[in-house]
A and B are shown apart, each in its own frame.
Chain A
Amino acid sequence: MKHDDKKSNEAARFLDNLESFLADNDLHGKDLVEDLRARGLDPDRLAAEFSDLLEQHAPTWSQKAERERRAALDDYAAACENVRRPRIETIEQINLLVEQMRQLGAPEEAGAYHQKFREASDADLESLLQDLRVQCRLLKIQKDKGGE
């Protein structure tokens, strides 16, 4: 073995062993918190991020229930809004959603919104608006996932 190779192997092996040796040096409680601070990390911020991460990716049943409750409230608020909305406003919102979906990369489809809404009843338009809201929400979720 050449001198340089031997030197290289020794240093690489030393660093590997050092890393493994330190791997189990886990601190606890206050020592751990102090150590994180010494490394320039803010334990309070870390704790908040961890909590958010769990809520988003492994919610407990109560967190899931709270999420569903909020979604139901949103749907209810939207439904109340529909009752009072004039036809022209519904059409504007449909156009807005179609544009948003296009920007999110949705393929253009031949659908009710290409009929310029002349033949659609108010109820049809409301139903189309609800469908588009759901589709747009799904598209946003897909896009967020794709961007991660």
Chain B
Amino acid sequence: MPDGKQRAADILHGPEGQETYFQLVRYAERIARIYGWTTDAILPGGASPKSVVNEVLKRLLDPNGPRNWDEKKEPVLLIALKGMVRSEIGHLYDRIEESLIESVNIALPDGKERTGDFFPSTKVHPGELNPEQHLLRQERTKLEFAAMKLVLEEVKGKDDLELVFLALYDTNSPSEIGATTGLPIERVYSARRELDRIVARISRARVVRAAREEKKS
């Protein structure tokens, strides 16, 4: 077994192994939730945040598995595992988008297949989005905006949270948020815990509903 795999196995068998696993499942749940907000989709193929975590661990721990842990690049196993989980969930959601674009690949009455690439604008300007991608992007923007507004509604009236919310337009670093808002770092961390609970309360259905209401108005 290569060193990275063995080291990861040793740590996971150790006293902090179970807590690392719990933290990873919790992380995966949050990532999948935020992806779900912006794509209006659940994880495809019957996957769940927990099953993604299990799959990542299998790929890392199996001697022939494709994942490895490079301790020199990322010395903290939990952070390395979070990166792998994030990438796995990202791939799964990318597949949903690809399938939505592919669905237009049908033979028309003249017998020829056409995809979004058929449309002239994408031929002339290859960097531009084709109509299918454009539509998806529009839908995604509406969902992103609705999600952001829902978070805003939840933090309204809570001074520290409002400040952190505004700072999150520009940065994700707690120390920078502290510097921008003038909040002591402990209060930034406290706001972070509260924001995490808020995120866990906002369901995908709620975001989709908010995006539809926004569309009507």
Mark A residues whose CB is within 8 Å of B. 4, 7-8, 10-29, 32-33, 35-36, 38-39, 41, 43, 46-47, 49-50, 53-54, 57-58, 60, 148
- Classify the interface of chain B: helix, strand, loop or mixed: helix
A-B contact pairs, 13 of them (CB 8 A): A8-B144, A8-B145, A17-B171, A18-B151, A18-B195, A19-B34, A22-B196, A22-B199, A26-B23, A39-B29, A47-B18, A50-B17, A57-B58
Inter-chain residue pair count (beta carbon < 8 A): 118
Inter-chain contact A21/B174, CB cutoff 8 Å: yes
Residue in B closest to A51 when the chains form the complex, CB atoms: B18
Place the interface of chain B in its size category: 35 or more
One of B29, B38, B144, B172 near A17 (C-beta < 8 A) = B172
Complex-state Cα separation, A46 to B82, whole angstroms = 17
* Contact B57 A57, beta carbon cutoff 8 Å: yes
Residue of B nearest to A29 (CB): B19
B93-152 contacts to A (CB < 8 Å): 137, 140-141, 144-145, 147-148, 151
- For the complex formed, measure the closest distance between the CB of A11 and the CB atoms of chain B, giving whole angstroms: 4
Task: Give the 5 A-B residue pairs with the shortest CB-CB distance, closest first.
Answer: A58-B9, A20-B172, A11-B144, A8-B141, A17-B172
- How far apart are B132's CB and chain A's nearest CB, in angstroms? 17
Residue of B13, B168, B170 most packed against chain A (CB within 10 A): B168
The verdict on A28 contacting B13 (CB below 8 Å), with A12-B144, A17-B168 known, is no
Residues of A within 8 A of B23 (CB): 26-27, 32
The answer to whether A18 touches B199 (Cβ under 8 A) is yes
Q: Which residues does chain A contribute within 8 Å of B13, judged by CB atoms?
A: 54, 58, 60
**Considering the chains assembled together, what is the distance between the CA atoms of A3 and B61 in angstroms?**
48
| A13-B200 Cα distance, complex, nearest whole Å | 19
**A residues within 8 A CB of B174?**
21, 24
- Which B70-90 residues have a C-beta within 8 angstroms of A? 78, 82
* Given A15-B34, A25-B196, 4 other A-B residues pairs in contact with their CB atoms under 8 A: A11-B141, A18-B199, A26-B23, A58-B12
Interface pair A54/B12, CB less than 8 Å apart: yes
A21 x B195 contact (CB < 8 A):
yes
- Beta-carbon contact of B18 and A57 below 8 Å: no
B25 interface residue, CB < 8 Å from A?
A: yes
Can you name the residue of chain A whose Cβ is closest to the Cβ of B1?
A58
Task: Quote the shortest CB–CB distance from A13 to chain B (angstroms).
Answer: 7
A4 CA to B142 CA, complexed, in Å = 10
For residue B192, which residue of chain A has the nearest CB? A25
A50–B26 CB distance below 8 A: no
- Taking the closest CB of chain A, its distance from the CB of B47, in whole angstroms, is 13
Residue of A4, A12, A24, A50 near B18 (CB, 8 A) is A50
Nearest CB of B to A1, in Å: 13
Name the residue on B nearest A52 (C-beta): B54
In this complex, the member of B31, B172, B192, B196 whose beta carbon has the largest number of chain A beta carbons within 10 angstroms is B172
Selected from A11, A41, A46, A57, the residue in CB contact (under 8 A) with B148 is: A11
Q: Cα distance A35–B23 when bound, in Å?
A: 10
Partner of B144, one of A15, A21, A38: A15
**B168 & A18 in contact (Cβ 8 Å cutoff):** yes
Distance of A54 Cα from B13 Cα, bound (Å): 8
Question: Nearest chain-A residue to B29 (Cβ)?
Answer: A39
Is B61 within 8 A of A46, CB to CB? no
**B177 CB contacts on chain A under 8 angstroms:** 21
